[in-house]
Amino acid sequence: MAAFDEWARAAKPTTSDEIWRYSRVDELDLDRWAPLSDSSTTVEVPDAVRPLVDDLGDPEEIVVVHHGRISHHAVHGQDTLIGPVPDAGALGHVADAVDDAFLHLHDAFLVEPLQITIPARRVVEAPVVAVLWADAEGSATFPRLVIDAGDHAQATVVVMVASADVDALVVPVVEIRSATGAHLTVITIQTLGQKVWQLGRLAADVGRDSRVELATVALGGSYARLRSDTKLRELGGEVSLSAAYFGDRDQMHDFRTLQDHAAGRTSSDLLFKGAVDDEAAAVYSGLIRIRPGASGASAHQTNRTLTLSDKSWAESVPNLEILHDDVQCSHASAVGPIDEDQRFYLESRGIPPEAAEQLVITGFFEEVLTRLPADRLRARLLADLQAKFRHTSAQGEAR
């Protein structure tokens, strides 16, 4: 249990640490949850995510990981792309434990890490789907997924992090390696129950002339944290990061990002948009780092969050660390209520106030959702965002 010993020795994060500032880590009580001693129950595609899977059409391959173990695996394509990690010693080369003590905890209770391998020059037309599912009360689960795209490979991977309505801890880690000339899209859809804590980690290593698109839609969880680190390590690498999130009741969404440019002629573009209502909260903190020698790098970062009630709040903290000249960088952030001019324009044309507000919110999120690959999936996720808004509106009227 070397990983557990590392966890025991590691300094535990607090809100005084910059990367945990504004978080709820001080409320974390790990004694509430425990890993399952036996999670061998067979679970196929859970009903909670079945509509989302159906909206993707016919996936190339789908795997359901139930509390860290494979419980269902179906191959619809010509061969198998999902299997065990061939070299467990390679874990952590992309997602390392620097400033992340919870990665040691994850490794200590890791059961069955999986790898999705897209062979060199292979073009996978249909999405590959991984469902990370938890449904046991009081459980802690630690799923690990490695996505490895070979030279000039192309694929879309959809990762669904979901749970039943239980009190649980989910610590998912996704590592992405994209080789020369590869084009990889990874979509994360988080629909955890309202009592679940997520401490998520996503890390991507982007190779020469490779393009990686990372999109996240976050709807669930009590406290849902996702740290996304992307490193552009070779010439010509590109990464696009986008997220749409909505918090209601007392939810908190917490996003931390790193766009790390270690080579020249690399580019990154980030667009995160969210909304919070009731007493919900959201935090975004992002860093663009331009390392020495990264000549010609281009990096951009935008975060906007709507606060829809007097008791909701959000923080947005963009940062730049530029250690080389001849680069293009920008960052922008905004936190505040719906634009009154937009709402007034719609209401002046006879649209009722609630409908006008919903139209503004729909337009606000569409810029992010248009980056998702399937029309039916976009429509359903937009409907889910609208349903959360309608719920909070109805609650407000009831009060």
Domain boundaries, the chain: 2-337
Q: Determine the Cα–Cα distance for residues 15 and 27; give it in Å rounded to an integer.
A: 10
For residue 378, what are its two tokens? 């976009």
* Cβ–Cβ under 8 Å, residues 258 and 286: yes
How high is the pLDDT of residue 389? 78
Q: Determine the Cα–Cα distance for residues 399 and 395; give it in Å rounded to an integer.
A: 6
* Alpha carbons within 13 A on the beta-carbon side of 286: 29
Task: Kindly tell me if the per-residue pLDDT of 6 is higher than 60.
Answer: yes
Task: Kindly tell me if the per-residue pLDDT of 381 is higher than 60.
Answer: yes
With tokens 């610590």, the residue in question is 171
**DSSP-assigned letter for residue 340:** H
- Which phi and psi (to 5°) does residue 272 adopt? -115, 125
* Cβ–Cβ under 8 Å, residues 260 and 230: yes
* Three-state DSSP class for residue 2: helix
**DSSP-assigned letter for residue 148:** E
Task: Kindly tell me if the per-residue pLDDT of 391 is higher than 80.
Answer: no
Q: Determine the Cα–Cα distance for residues 139 and 399; give it in Å rounded to an integer.
A: 34
How high is the pLDDT of residue 39? 62
Does residue 348 or residue 164 have the better pLDDT? 164
How high is the pLDDT of residue 338? 84
Task: Kindly tell me if the per-residue pLDDT of 70 is higher than 90.
Answer: yes
Task: Kindly tell me if the per-residue pLDDT of 186 is higher than 50.
Answer: yes
CA distances from 156 to 59, 301, 379 (A): 10, 23, 18
Q: Cβ atoms within 10 A of the Cβ of 39, count?
A: 20
Q: Cβ atoms within 10 A of the Cβ of 89, count?
A: 8
* Cβ–Cβ under 8 Å, residues 312 and 279: yes
Nearest to 60 by CA among 77, 73, 36, 42: 77
Task: Kindly tell me if the per-residue pLDDT of 399 is higher than 60.
Answer: no
For range 362-389, the mean pLDDT: 84
* Cβ–Cβ under 8 Å, residues 255 and 217: no
Q: Determine the Cα–Cα distance for residues 263 and 224; give it in Å rounded to an integer.
A: 32
Nearest to 213 by CA among 237, 236, 184, 252: 184
